[in-house]
Amino acid sequence: MFEFAESIQRVAIMAVPFLLAVTCHEVAHGLAALWFGDQTARMAGRLTLNPLPHMDPMGTLVFLVTALTGGFIIGWAKPVPVNPGRFRNVRQGLIVVSAAGAAANVLLAVAFLGLFILLRDSYPAPGSLLAPYYEPLYLIAQFGVVINVVLAVFNLLPIPPLDGSKILAELLPYSWAQQYMRLERYGLIIIVLLVVSGGLRFVFQPIWALLNHILF
């Protein structure tokens, strides 16, 4: 019973930064697309910080399961609709729009890190009004840094259909880009194989080491 209550508390703490991370990621894509002349995301009602329009049922379920089990947290939101044909500059627009989500996560990571440092260096006096909220806020700030750094790095991996692949495709010669983006149909398989084989560990190991040094 105690373990179940602990799991529920962990999910409640992780849900706040997770929903903020994926929501801001998608909104950033939509805002960048709007800047380049595409109003598709706005017309679809996706330029909102309300997480409900962005939630993907399967992505949310996977997040809840992985958070409850205490393993590596996985989850995702619905991709924001974008129509590159409406961009004033298609090539530049695709690069900026693809990078916008990761940029939003980096900014959120910095904001959560600032909150984490503030809380770490200013423990409230016992019995004060802030004392009961200190630990939850501390853990939210801690996880907020982790989830946003992970999302930013993961989405910039050059594996179709991740954002990094779209950026790379626009930097390649057209014929090369066409061949490269054909890998999109195998993207999920490639990601699963990298996870199972431990290939992603080489990417995230130095990042984990840095986060552990700063946060734990």
pLDDT digits over 158-183, tens only?
999 999 999 999 999 999 999 999 99
Measured in residues, the chain has a length of: 216
Pairwise CA distance, residues 25 & 18, whole Å = 11
Catalytic residues: 26
Band of residue 131 on the pLDDT scale cut at 50, 70, 90: confident
Pairwise CA distance, residues 145 & 90, whole Å = 32
Max mean pLDDT range (72-76, 145-149, 206-210, 212-216): 145-149
What percentage of the chain carries pLDDT values higher than 90? 60
69: domain range?
2-215
Listed residue (106, 133, 126, 141) closest to 216, CA to CA: 141
pTM: 0.91
The residues, any chain, with a CB within 8 Å of residue 3's CB and separated by 6 or more, are none
The number of domains in the chain is: 1
The residues, any chain, with a CB within 8 Å of residue 12's CB and separated by 6 or more, are none
- So what's the pLDDT on residue 137? 93
Token pair, residue 58, equals 């399967």
Per-residue pLDDT of 101-120, as tens digits, reads 999 999 999 999 999 999 98
Look at 194 and 54; give whichever has higher pLDDT. Answer: 54
Per-residue pLDDT of 20-65, as tens digits, reads 999 999 999 999 999 999 999 999 999 999 999 999 998 888 888 8
